[in-house]
Amino acid sequence: MAEELGVGRTTYISFETGRTKLYNKLVTKMADRLGFAPEELLYGQRPDEALLRDQASIDDWKRNLVNDYEQRIAILQDKLDAANKIISYQDANIQTLTQSNQYLLEQLRKND
């Protein structure tokens, strides 16, 4: 399947395990290969035909989908913010250690 999708084996395994999200082009390609609609592949079922005819239901479904993605984005933003804080702290530590090393090297040169 990885070869048919044009991705590496490791990438495909990441899709299967959920570590990497499928992107639109691959979802369509994979769904076609497996004989499913893209919705069935992503959500486990095709949206109910009655749902697709009822505008209020469509709007509700869209709202729920948008809310779900907004929540996911918020979680990812929190993780990104935490990672940026760690990077900032590590940068400060590196700068402190670099300054300490420079000072120690200067002291050693004075003693030579």
Residue 62 or 112, more confident:
62
Q: Considering the chain, what is the average pLDDT of its residues?
A: 84
Q: Where are the domains of the chain?
A: 1-46, 48-112
- Contact, 42 vs 27, CB < 8 A? yes
* The pTM of the whole model exceeds 0.85: no
Instruction: Report residue 7 as tokens.
Output: 């991705």
Query: What φ, ψ does residue 45 adopt, rounded to 5°?
Result: -160, 155
Q: How far apart are the first and last CA of the chain?
A: 66
Res 29: pLDDT: 85
- Contact, 62 vs 54, CB < 8 A? no
66-104 tens-digit pLDDT: 999 999 999 999 999 999 999 999 999 999 999 999 999
Residue 12 has pLDDT above 60, yes or no: yes
